[in-house]
Amino acid sequence: MKKLVIFLAVIFLCASFIKDGGYQVGDKAIDFTLKNIDDKTYSLADQKNAKGFIVVFTCNHCPYAVKYEDRIIALNNKYAKLGYPVVAINPNDATAYPDDNFANMKKRAKSKSFTFPYLVDDSQEIAKTYGASKTPHVFVLQKVNNDLIVKYIGAIDDNTDDASAVKVKYVEQAVDELLAGKPVVITSTKAIGCGIKWKQ
Amino acid sequence: MSTIYSLFILLFFSTSTEDYKVSSKIETITLEQLQAKTIHPDNDTLYIVNFWATWCGPCVAELPYFEQAAKIPTGKKMKILLINLDFLSEKEKVIAFTAKKKLQNDVYMLNAGDPNMWINQIDTNWDGAIPVTVFYKSGKKVFFHEGDLTQAELDEKIQNHLTN
């Protein structure tokens, strides 16, 4: 009996450890139903025409997220019509960062004329399950049969500070490769960003 | 001769009083330069590198701990480098911040290009969130920590690595 308890405890520990690690490229991603800034709920399953998604964990307050706002809008303008719409998710604890609360998300989306959903991950479960650690943090998903497969994780491009000096557009490259039916060459990148503020 | 003598006295007193180095400029540093400063196989100085940014709350909160740690008379050699990751286009902000906080440790702004290329060179387990603190001694990385530290944790780590 004692051995069984230890065995189960080890399994449990391993399982929780894996969960903390989030998704790796090639993993099946879960769908979600989250509240959008239009007060309606949004889920990936409802987007029947999409071939995949550019899921961006982002927020209002972070200077990195702000630097990328125009580039996120441009991504959606370019790829939504090709079947890869942007889905932005704000995972931050709004108590810690009032800038990131739902009212301010609405304001920001309006002032920047977001053309994509901007969802609130209030329980932070989606960010945790995906393994988002900072903002912005991108997950490119491809629909394969009825599953959503993670094809790319990481940064939008290689220069946060200066959009005009970007040499490699990582997300565009990955989505272009998926659209061409090719394997994604650079499947993950690392970037500096604002750590997601987790609820206590 | 007396002029030189008084100049010497003046210098002595100006450095021994609370003369904060309020810098009007800040140097940038490349990854290679940082590595050259911290990775010395043949010296036993403990190099403490903290990656931070003015926009990072936990980073700003722990900066005083590094300032405090630098004041502890350790009897051994130790050097703290505060490596700033603000945007290079916002240098003025960092200069104003370091002046306001009266930072005494050496501050550099990292100029290393695409983070995807250099983050792994600091540590392959680092995913890019800051603050991050790394210790180097005798040419090796001896400690890596992602996330903030308390004063007690930092002091303890320093003591451990100074005595080892």
In what helix (H) or strand (E) does residue A2 lie, and over which residues does it extend?
helix A2-21
Rounded to an integer, what distance in angstroms lies between the CA atom of residue A175 and that of residue A173? 6
- In a mutagenesis test of the A interface, which of B56, B86, B114 is the best target, namely the one with the most A β-carbons within 10 Å? B114
Q: According to the model, what pLDDT value does residue B22 have?
A: 53
Which residues on chain A are in Cβ contact (under 8 Å) with B130? Answer: 192, 195
Q: Which residue of A has its CA nearest to B130?
A: A195
Give the separation between CA B156 and CA B24, rounded to whole angstroms. Answer: 34
Contact A158 B120 (CB under 8 A): no
Asked, for residue A82, whether it belongs to a domain, the answer is yes
Mean pLDDT for A52-62 is: 97
CATH of the domain at A189: 3.40.30.10
Domain-located, residue A76: yes
Q: Is the peptide bond before A117 cis (omega within 30 degrees of 0)?
A: no
Between A162, A194, A195, which is nearest B89 by CB?
Answer: A162
Q: Residue B16 has what pLDDT? A: 37
**SS3 of residue B124 by DSSP:** coil
Supply B37's token pair. Answer: 């400063």
Segment A81-87 shows an average pLDDT of 98
User: How many Cβ atoms are within 10 Å of B7's Cβ, its own excluded?
Assistant: 10
B128: DSSP letter: S
Q: Inform me whether the C-beta atom of residue A189 falls under 8 Å from chain B C-beta atoms.
A: yes
A-chain residue closest to B147, CA distance: A195
Provide the domain count of chain A: 1
CB of A193 less than 8 A from some CB of B: yes
| B58, B116, B127 ranked by CB distance to A133: nearest | B127
pLDDT (0 to 100) of residue B42? 83
- pLDDT tens-digit map of B49-85: 999 999 999 999 999 999 999 987 766 789 999 999 9
Q: Would residue A186 count as lying in a domain?
A: yes
What is the SS3 assignment for A36? strand
Nearest CA distance, B103 vs chain A (angstrom): 23
Query: Residue B73 gets which letter from DSSP?
Result: -
Which position has the token pair 């988002």?
A: A132
DSSP state of B146: E
> Measuring CA to CA, which residue among A124, A142, A143 is closest to residue A132?
A124
Contact across the interface for B113 and A191, Cβ inside 8 Å: no
The answer as to whether A1 is a domain residue is: no
Name residues 16-45 of chain B within 8 A of A (Cβ). Answer: none
A10 pLDDT above the threshold of 70:
no
Distance in Å, alpha carbon of A5 to nearest chain B alpha carbon: 31
DSSP A39: S
Whether A96 contacts A61, CB under 8 Å: no
What's the distance, CA A197 to chain centroid? 15
Q: Does A165 touch chain B (CB under 8 A)?
A: no
Distance CA A102, CA A85 (A): 22
| Binary contact (B127, A134; C-beta < 8 A) | yes
What is the rounded CA–CA span in Å between residue A6 and residue A108? 50
CATH architecture classification, B23-163: 3-Layer(aba) Sandwich (3.40)
- CB contacts of A160 in chain B (<8 Å) are 87
- Could you say which of B53, B58, B128 has the minimum Cβ distance to residue A190? B128
Summarised one tens digit per residue, pLDDT across range B81-123 is 999 999 999 999 999 999 999 999 999 999 999 999 999 999 9
CA separation (Å) from A13 to A1, A10, A16, A18, A125?
Answer: 18, 5, 5, 9, 18
Residue A19 tokens read as 């969960």
Note whether residue A15 is domain-resident: no
pLDDT of residue B14 exceeding 50, the answer is no
pLDDT at B21 over 70: no
Domain with A188, as residue range(s), is: 22-195
Yes or no: say if A195 and B141 are a contact pair by the CB < 8 Å rule.
no
Reading phi first (left if > 0) and then psi (alpha if -120 to 50, else beta), residue A42 is in: beta
DSSP codes joined into one string, B83-113: EE-S-GGGHHHHHHHHHHTT--SEEEEE--S
Say if CB A174 and CB A142 are below 8 A apart. Answer: no
Phi, psi (deg, nearest 5) at residue A140: -90, 125
Minimal Cβ distance to B129: which of A63, A134, A168: A134
pLDDT band at A18 (very low <50, low <70, confident <90, very high): very low
* Per-residue pLDDT, B43: 83
pLDDT tens sequence across B36-58: 999 988 888 999 999 999 999 99
Question: Is A2 a domain residue?
Answer: no
Q: Give the pair of three-digit tokens for residue B128.
A: 């890019």
CB contact residues (below 8 A), chain A span 46-75, against chain B: 62-63, 67
Token pair 């990481």: residue: A154
Overall average pLDDT of the A121-146 stretch: 96
Burial class of residue B41 (count of CB atoms within 10 Å of its CB; 0-12, 13-18, 19+): exposed
Of residues B53, B55, B116, nearest to A191 (C-beta): B116
Contacts of A44 (CB under 8 A, 6+ apart): A31, A32, A50, A53, A87, A141, A148
Given a contact cutoff of 8 angstroms between Cβ atoms, the answer to whether B46 and B163 are in contact is no
Report the predicted TM-score, pTM, of the whole model to 2 decimal places.
Answer: 0.84
Nearest CA in chain B to A195: B129
Complex ipTM > 0.85:
no
Q: Is residue A8 part of a domain?
A: no
Q: Is A80 left (phi over 0), alpha (psi -120 to 50) or beta?
A: alpha
For residues B62 and B153, is the Cβ–Cβ distance under 8 A?
no
B 48-77 residues inside an 8 A Cβ radius of A: 53, 55-56, 58
The pLDDT score that the predictor gives to residue A14 is 40
**What sign for the dihedral angle of Cα A20, A23, A74, A106?**
negative
